[in-house]
Structure 1
Amino acid sequence: MLSRKTAVKVGAAISALAMLGSLAACGSSKATTDSNGKPIVTILVVKNSNQTKMADMSWTKDLEADCDCSIQWKEVSDDQWGQQKNASLAAGEISDLNIRAFNPDDAARNSSAFEQLGNDLDKLPNVKKFFKEQPTAKKLVTVDGKVTVLPSSRTKGFLASGQHFMINKTWLDKLGLSVPKTWDDLRKVMQAFKTQDPNGNGQADEIAFNPREMNTGKIGDWWSPFLMMNSTGIATYFNSGPSQQGIYVKNGKVANWMQTKQFRQVIEFYHEMVKNGWAPSDWVTVKDDKYNARNQSDGKTAKVGMVFGWDESAFGSYGSDLANQYISIPIPSADGVSAEDTVWDGSSEANRYEDYHMSMSANAANKDACLKVINLLYSEKYSIQQLFGSFSDGYVKKTGAHSYKVTEKFHKAQDASKIPALEDRLAGWVSDDVTVEGDRGMDHVANADKPYKEQYSHYDHTKDLMPIYVRIGESDQNAVANNNTALFNYAIPVVSKWLSQGGVEDDSQWNAFQENLKKYNIDQNTEIWQKAYNKYVK
């Protein structure tokens, strides 16, 4: 008779197998070939909903011809994969190759399931070249000296934060206001935006500042309201990493900004915005559809003065009348903080590189064919087409030895949400020698990043920022994950209430909050990240 523990494990495995009916079967020990005798390679791709089918991307047919193999593409959405990934790992159901599916930590925890690609670099000369030119990328995926999952690298123009403070320049000009440089300036601008009808429609419908909702599972995130921490001199890096947990570094010392007076100061400022009607009273809990609707209005009349976003596309498509009203500006300095001590989000490397773009099953039937496919994907020829679409379909044109132009045909496909490429989900890399003309995403994010050059210079990007390649060990990962679950289940509701209703100014509430953070092991998290920082930063 099975014990309850054993029965649960067996049941979980059966459930995992049932869930994975739509995914690729794992590689077998026996070689598999198609009717023409060509080796079969199964590739799972985690895709965005606005991307066309892999079979409709012409470059995939060329890839199949160049590798002299038969490729079977399996596609899954982000939401589906979020539900299925753990089951895939539990059941050992891993496709031959996997694009944007598993990260280095997944591979470290399931080491017998994945090929150590770092041992295959002699058969992956394009990857070897990638790591030599861009060593940060290799560091990013190296766990305990091993490389199992390969990273991606977009064009050098993406070496920019994905986080920017956007303001309606048309409104500023109409009201005769300058770009705010301090929180006091910001208060005056928000009051004017709220009361002086800058959109000219005769209605009091302007939202001076539209913060994005609070994430319920962590304290920071993409376009987080806590980008305002940079105003106080604490640098965030919200594209990814432990900054989303509140972790920051100052002169090599790791800490958590939820335990700082600066955090309290930012919360007070947001509540001031709500109290004065500068920010919506419900912003803390508003979901993305309503948040985006506020930003984009009717496509003609602006309703929002300021947001944190990627670039002006937060307000509409590139070149639209609404989007053209907005510019990015340096973050204004907090009360009592000098301009020289004000910083900006240091996510630039995390914007160019991602660490979970190619993994290979240890049980792949046709290993040599799989490695050939990987090497081709990491060539310039296929990296460019993964980003921008097929040469043969006219989405991107080769204009020189290492130069390319993205065409209007690709832009129209983007605007129609029928993107014929993987874009940032590519399993590939682009050398610094390559130039690309007409990549709107790259051009606009690079332009949006320019105003922060001075604020980037106000801190050391190794001593005052957690490098993207710093990793914590497996046992520590479990400890941090467990701590964070309890920590944020407690902290987020408290912080959310303070943001919308006030109370953080009450010393008794603040002190009780700090004591409870310690009870939920916030200090252990800091110690773990300090240990990792000391290990990787030499």
Structure 2
Amino acid sequence: MRRSGLRGMKTAVAAAVAVAMTIPLTACGGQEQATVDENGKPIVRIMVRRNVTDNPIEDMGYDAELEAACDCTIEWSEVDDNSWGQQKAPRMAAGEFPDIGLTLYDYTDISRFYSEFLDLAPYLDQMPNVKKFFEDRPVALKMAQDGDKIYNIPSDRGKGYRVSATHMFINKTWLDNLGLEVPTTWDELEDVLEAFKTEDPNGNGEADEVPMNIRSLGFGLWSALVLLNSTGIATSFMGASASGQGFYVEDGKVKSYYTSENLKDVMTFLHELVEKGLIPKDSLTRDASQYDAQTIGDGETATTGVSIGWSTNSEYGQLADQYITLPPLKQDASMPDSEVKWDYSADATEFAYSVTVSPDAPNLDAVLKVIDAMYGERLSVEGYFGSIPAVVSDDGDHQYTINPDVAYAEYTDTRAVALQDRFGGYIPDDVTMINDTNAEYVTASDEACREALANVDPTGDVIPIYVRPDSSDMETLQNNNTSIGNYANNMIAQWFQNGGIDEQWDEYVAKLNTPSLGLQDNIDIWQKYYDEAVK
């Protein structure tokens, strides 16, 4: 762990006081850790998962301001995503939990180790910023609550991220070059893709165009199965959602995408595009670098016509200006506009499980002060975007301006100079962020989907993000999902590449409905928790 915040001279008197006041705390490997520093200030240990860890938090002004707010010393421990993926299970099994964890644990972890997480509900009055956050954001409160307990406080990165996580893009420059209109149905999209393949829309005289690029066919981010929304049922492909496990709601009943006629229609359409060479047949086996080579490319000549992602900027880089968001398509022209939907993932995009506290934290008052400070406006902005004034200026009246030369010197977002989406905090709607290019691009990308998103009932078409089964039922879901996915996902991949869905569909559905795979058990579990939360 790194040490930070040891301010001032280390005098003999202060050292003596510290020795007298220190209460040993057993840490990893049986070593004892001090609970106060040389100056007698309480020590708070925070572990945070980060995108990149080459710019230590202790070097940021954010750290110093947090320490001032709690009148304590903060010891930071930073871990990158890959390392945490390897460390989390053994650390939890060994009982190694930091005083404060930032974006380390989700409710699956908590359900397995309840005794290692402090119930924060009794302490809300000591954290007025957190209390106000919950008053302002009832969805976040529902996410946090486990009955009358709160083990994990979500973060809120603000209105700029109240968007769908998934968008479908089309090269508008190519459409204009070929004199084509933006497609509105599956048939029109197919016609456009055929023109993209045969009519040299990028004008370089080479047959190098990829009419449509896809990343995956799972129930997750940026999947081509987002086309389920064209058929009138909604997805919510973000985070650990029920939708991500393959479940949706129709007329108050939980159902599975896997056995829906809607999935059959989507797979029939996608295979037709593969068969005509409009989607690469090897789409499901390529790695990310091969995909990026066709979307971002050399930054000069576009080779992708249509793809699915977060924003035009993240998807196409320097070629972003050629692309627009494709408004959600109808399955066919006869479909009423009111039936077209889109991926409802705004709650999971805006909020994320963030702050946990160990019940063994020795300096609880200081811990609570740290957390409350994190959820104040200024430190929330600093936590997500960068320190004030080094990276962000405070313009007054709830407006802040990001210095792009500093904030985006290494990346197109603030991962290097701040905690970014791994922060704990709350950015209210009255905050205006200038030069938040990530939010600007994704908000612009989202606008074409807003009409279809308005057709989604957030509690009637999808299982809300705050609906969580208990640990026993979660284990049943996970075990069954493994069996279901091993069979169903293999069949979906086969149909995508080779077809045959009409001949094999009935047998496929019958097998999924056999008790041994547990699909109906999973539906019943989600129905129980959905009814408790929504009805």
TM-score (norm 1): 0.90
Change (3 A) 1:50 1:179: farther
Query: Helix, strand or coil: the match of 1:323?
Result: helix
Tell me, yes or no, if structure 1 residue 407 matches structure 2 residue 403.
Answer: yes
2:79 corresponds to which of 55, 76, 79? 76
Alignment correspondent of 1:209: 212
Q: Please state how far the C-alpha of 1:330 moved relative to its aligned partner.
A: 1.2
Q: Contact conserved, 2:413 with 2:438, CA < 8 A, in 1?
A: no
Output the CA distance in 2 between the equivalents of 1:66 and 1:457. Answer: 42
Q: Contact conserved, 1:248 with 1:465, CA < 8 A, in 2?
A: yes
Query: Helix, strand or coil: the match of 2:130?
Result: helix
1:124-273 superposed matches below 5 A:
124-214=127-217, 219-240=218-239, 241-273=241-273
Query: Helix, strand or coil: the match of 1:213?
Result: coil
Q: Contact conserved, 2:51 with 2:415, CA < 8 A, in 1?
A: no
Alignment correspondent of 2:427: 430
Output the CA distance in 1 between the equivalents of 2:85 and 2:499. Answer: 35
Alignment correspondent of 2:282: 282
Q: Please state how far the C-alpha of 1:460 moved relative to its aligned partner.
A: 2.1
Change (3 A) 1:127 1:175: same
Q: Which runs of 5+ in 1 are unaligned?
A: 1-23
Output the CA distance in 2 between the equivalents of 1:105 and 1:65. Answer: 34
Output the CA distance in 1 between the equivalents of 2:54 and 2:451. Answer: 37
Equivalent pairs, count = 505
Query: Helix, strand or coil: the match of 1:75?
Result: strand
Amino acid of the structure 2 residue aligned with 1:255: K
Alignment correspondent of 1:516: 511
Query: Helix, strand or coil: the match of 1:172?
Result: helix
Could you report, residue by residue, the CA deviation over 1:198-243 in whole angstroms, capped at 9, with x for unpaired residues? 01110101001001134xxxx3111011001111111101112011
Query: Helix, strand or coil: the match of 2:189?
Result: helix
Alignment correspondent of 2:20: none
Output the CA distance in 2 between the equivalents of 1:481 and 1:513. Answer: 21
Query: Helix, strand or coil: the match of 2:203?
Result: coil
Query: Helix, strand or coil: the match of 1:42?
Result: strand
Alignment correspondent of 2:311: 311
Q: Please state how far the C-alpha of 1:51 moved relative to its aligned partner.
A: 6.4
Alignment correspondent of 1:19: none
2:342 corresponds to which of 334, 341, 344? 344
Alignment correspondent of 1:296: 296
Q: Please state how far the C-alpha of 1:187 moved relative to its aligned partner.
A: 0.8
Output the CA distance in 2 between the equivalents of 1:314 and 1:435. Answer: 22
Alignment correspondent of 1:493: 490
Q: Contact conserved, 2:400 with 2:432, CA < 8 A, in 1?
A: yes
How much is the aligned-residue C-alpha RMSD, in angstroms?
A: 2.0
Could you report, residue by residue, the CA deviation over 1:373-432 in whole angstroms, capped at 9, with x for unpaired residues? 111111111100011101131x11111231211222213343498620111111111112
Tell me, yes or no, if structure 1 residue 367 matches structure 2 residue 364.
Answer: yes
Change (3 A) 1:50 1:301: farther
Output the CA distance in 1 between the equivalents of 2:183 and 2:379. Answer: 45
Query: Helix, strand or coil: the match of 2:301?
Result: coil
Output the CA distance in 2 between the equivalents of 1:501 and 1:466. Answer: 33
Q: Contact conserved, 1:248 with 1:257, CA < 8 A, in 2?
A: yes
Q: Please state how far the C-alpha of 1:182 moved relative to its aligned partner.
A: 0.5
Alignment correspondent of 1:13: none
Amino acid of the structure 2 residue aligned with 1:100: T
Change (3 A) 1:510 1:50: farther
Tell me, yes or no, if structure 1 residue 471 matches structure 2 residue 468.
Answer: yes
Amino acid of the structure 2 residue aligned with 1:60: D
Could you report, residue by residue, the CA deviation over 1:446-500 in whole angstroms, capped at 9, with x for unpaired residues? 1111111221222322211221211112211011011011111122111111111
Query: Helix, strand or coil: the match of 2:513?
Result: helix
Output the CA distance in 1 between the equivalents of 2:182 and 2:247. Answer: 30
Amino acid of the structure 2 residue aligned with 1:510: W
Q: Contact conserved, 2:118 with 2:357, CA < 8 A, in 1?
A: yes
Query: Helix, strand or coil: the match of 2:501?
Result: coil
Aligned-pair identity (%): 41
Q: Contact conserved, 1:384 with 1:430, CA < 8 A, in 2?
A: yes
Tell me, yes or no, if structure 1 residue 36 matches structure 2 residue 35.
Answer: no
Output the CA distance in 1 between the equivalents of 2:188 and 2:63. Answer: 53
Output the CA distance in 1 between the equivalents of 2:446 and 2:384. Answer: 21
Query: Helix, strand or coil: the match of 2:409?
Result: helix
Alignment correspondent of 1:15: none
Amino acid of the structure 2 residue aligned with 1:380: E
Amino acid of the structure 1 residue aligned with 2:404: E
Output the CA distance in 2 between the equivalents of 1:281 and 1:265. Answer: 19
Amino acid of the structure 1 residue aligned with 2:505: W
Alignment correspondent of 2:6: none
Alignment correspondent of 2:18: none
Output the CA distance in 2 between the equivalents of 1:345 and 1:486. Answer: 26
2:373 corresponds to which of 351, 376, 392? 376
263-272 or 287-296: which moved more?
287-296
Q: Please state how far the C-alpha of 1:50 moved relative to its aligned partner.
A: 7.1
Q: Contact conserved, 2:53 with 2:79, CA < 8 A, in 1?
A: no
Q: Contact conserved, 2:53 with 2:78, CA < 8 A, in 1?
A: no
Q: Contact conserved, 1:213 with 1:285, CA < 8 A, in 2?
A: no
Output the CA distance in 2 between the equivalents of 1:443 and 1:496. Answer: 35
